[in-house]
Amino acid sequence: MLKGSPLVMVPGPTPIARSIQDQMGRETISFNDPRFVAVFNSLIADMKSLWRCDGIVFIVAGSGTMAMEMGICNVAGTGENVLVCSNGHFGDRFIDICARKNFSLDTIKAQWGTSVTVDEIDKKLSEKKYSALVTTHIETSTGVELPLRQVAEMVRRKHPDVILVVDGVASAGASEFYMDWGIDVMLTCSQKGLGISPGLGIIWASQRAIDKRQSMPPISESYADFVKWIPVMKDTMQYWGTPSVNMIWALAEAIRIIKDEGLEERIKRHKLFSDAIRSSLSALGFRTGTEEALASPSVTVFFYPENPKIDDAAFRSAVYEEGAHIGGCLGVFAGKGFRIGHMGNITTGTLVTLIAAIERACIRCGYDVALGSGLAAMQKAIVSM
């Protein structure tokens, strides 16, 4: 019984507001049309000021993985010591990206569902002189949020020469971070907390990161080279690679929505919704795959109960047919549960539809929950906060 198009509750892409869709559907104009140039320039200024970036923000066509490559290849060169901390699948992807460069690479890996700690990072950074530390703010495969502020402040205080590179793919627009905490490179993409379709990579680079790039010899990457893009990001009349005109309009609209809601308010909303979804699913007998203190505001992993045995594929397709598309688990967690993305421009109405679909799917899969119990727990969490 499929009722229209299901809600997109995977950890990206996320539901897209009508006004953002309208920007993507506009008639495309030239990237040096003054009407576009003005929007792009003011978007760049907004992105810098909202996330307190003293350097340059790069907005380029590509996915999050492209932004990861672009983030690291500009701040560490051949033979330099790089430390990558992984909390799961996407941290491991960063290890893979770095292993393909000629860095001298070290890694720290957390057990799935937990995070690498500030002390572990501090200890490792004390062992030798590292050029860069690479981490993931919110690990989408486990729903774990790294204590980023503490990491950034520790690195600045105790290892001031280290360039801190952070994967913020599942955090920008959903969780708090500011470049002036001591972050040098933060990267994200369009289809998660910002609430746009996939297609844009965004990299905030501190002045320290730009200085580092400018002190390096030419790098082997071309499209991803900061040096090629700096003139464009300073004056969008300049050309390097054709900007993704409609996606940039869409991002400008997404930022207008964020400013309208208020970035801090938006982050509070994400935390509230995340808490409400966890209360709700816990009332239905699902436990999370994440330590409570590390639960992210943007994505949560839920494990199936032991009894009765629930078939993963059958359950997720039942939820889909009942009106919500949720994600499967990855890696170590695959088959044990599912992932819900709860980020971007979603409302309490979205949560009601999601939880109701999950309740009906439980019944269809022979898991006899009391209809309305998940909704009631969600409602209580929302009104009590």
Ligand X SMILES: Cc1ncc(COP(=O)(O)O)c(C=O)c1O
Closest approach, Cβ 139 to ligand X, in A, equals 6
Nearest residue (CB) to ligand X, 90 versus 177: 90
Give the whole-angstrom CA distance, residue 217 versus residue 231.
18
User: According to CB under 6 A, which one of 14, 65, 87, 206 is a site residue for ligand X?
Assistant: 65
Please give the size of the binding site for ligand X, defined by CB under 6 A.
12
Closest approach, Cβ 170 to ligand X, in A, equals 5
Nearest residue (CB) to ligand X, 80 versus 167: 167
For residues 80 and 104, the answer to whether their CB atoms sit within 8 Å is yes
C-beta pairs of 105-110 under 8 Å, 24+ apart in sequence: 106/81, 106/82, 106/130, 107/83, 108/83, 108/84, 109/85, 110/85, 110/86, 110/144
Residue 64 within binding range of ligand X, rule CB under 6 A: yes
Closest approach, Cβ 191 to ligand X, in A, equals 6
Closest approach, Cβ 136 to ligand X, in A, equals 5
Nearest residue (CB) to ligand X, 63 versus 317: 63
- Cα angle at 212 between 191 and 44, to 5 degrees? 40
Residue 12 within binding range of ligand X, rule CB under 6 A: yes
Q: Which two tokens stand for residue 16?
A: 């897209």
Q: Which two tokens stand for residue 335?
A: 């088959």
Closest approach, Cβ 169 to ligand X, in A, equals 4
Nearest residue (CB) to ligand X, 337 versus 374: 337
First to last CA, the chain: 35
Residue 244 within binding range of ligand X, rule CB under 6 A: no
Q: Which stretch binds ligand X (CB under 6 A): 2-10, 62-70, 121-129, 319-327?
A: 62-70
CB atoms near residue 270 (< 10 Å): 23
Closest approach, Cβ 5 to ligand X, in A, equals 21
Give the whole-angstrom CA distance, residue 320 versus residue 97.
33
Binding to ligand X by CB under 6 A, coded x per residue (else -) over 70-109, reads --------------------x-------------------
Closest approach, Cβ 331 to ligand X, in A, equals 12
Nearest residue (CB) to ligand X, 201 versus 374: 201
Closest approach, Cβ 90 to ligand X, in A, equals 4
Nearest residue (CB) to ligand X, 124 versus 192: 192
User: According to CB under 6 A, which one of 24, 41, 48, 63 is a site residue for ligand X?
Assistant: 63
CB atoms near residue 382 (< 10 Å): 17
Could you say which residues in the range 118-147 bind ligand X, by CB under 6 A? Answer: 136, 140
Amino acid at position 145, single letter: E
Closest approach, Cβ 65 to ligand X, in A, equals 3
Binding to ligand X by CB under 6 A, coded x per residue (else -) over 161-200, reads ------x-xx------------------x--------x--
Nearest residue (CB) to ligand X, 10 versus 219: 10
By CB under 6 A, name the binding residues for ligand X: 12, 63-65, 90, 136, 140, 167, 169-170, 189, 198
